[in-house]
Amino acid sequence: MRTIAVYPGSFDPPTYGHLDIIERSSRVFSRVIVSVARNIRKDTMFTAAERMTMLRTLTRSFPNVEVDSFRGLLVEYVRVVDAHVVVRGLRAISDFEYEFQMAHMNKKLSPEVDTVFMMTGERYSYISSQIAKEIARLGGKIDDLVPPLVRERMLRKLGRKK
């Protein structure tokens, strides 16, 4: 059976935690569509196009992974791309409440869509885009949080050299 999965998110910016989920999903599903949410928040560091470009470069080595974007309801997008599975990473109990609510809401909106959770690898469990941005803004080291390409772009946005 060919299973198409959508991995949606803000990816502002993509982190090693996201890449861990992408790599592992690509081994479980026949096709994984990493989809950048547009217009969720206005205060993003990167435009949707910039986030997609970074994700495309970072996932180049996975033949069954593609990068796209969506607006509006996730379940509507999932239907349009003919997928039935949404992948989400779970880092800690603190993620659970929000993810639980979202998965149930999506199930109510579209009963044929299932959300599959993947535990983020232990070494990535403390990483989030939010934390990476905060540390970068405050001049800290983000080498362990985001790939070099993302780090360079973040520093450029912040007008930092290193």
CA distances to 75, 110, 113, 114, 143 from 104, rounded to whole Å, are 12, 10, 10, 9, 35
Residue 37 sits in the site that holds ligand PNS (CB under 6 A): yes
* Local structure of residue 36 (DSSP, 8 states): E
Among 4, 45, 81, 102, binds ligand PNS (CB under 6 A): 102
Number of residues that bind ligand PNS (CB under 6 A): 10
Residue 106 sits in the site that holds ligand PNS (CB under 6 A): yes
Residue 17 sits in the site that holds ligand PNS (CB under 6 A): no
Distance in Å, CB of 28 to ligand PNS, minimum: 19
Q: Which of 162, 146, 160 is nearest to 55 (CA)?
A: 146
Residue 36 sits in the site that holds ligand PNS (CB under 6 A): no
Whole-angstrom distance, CA of residue 30 vs CA of residue 136: 36
Among 55, 67, 74, 83, binds ligand PNS (CB under 6 A): 74
Residue 80 sits in the site that holds ligand PNS (CB under 6 A): no
Distance in Å, CB of 146 to ligand PNS, minimum: 14
Whole-angstrom distance, CA of residue 63 vs CA of residue 61: 6
Q: Which of 71, 102, 85, 73 is nearest to 32 (CA)?
A: 85
> Which window, 26-34, 49-57, 98-106, 119-127, contacts ligand PNS (CB under 6 A)?
98-106
Whole-angstrom distance, CA of residue 118 vs CA of residue 120: 6
Residues at the interface with ligand PNS (CB under 6 A): 8-10, 37, 40, 73-74, 102, 105-106
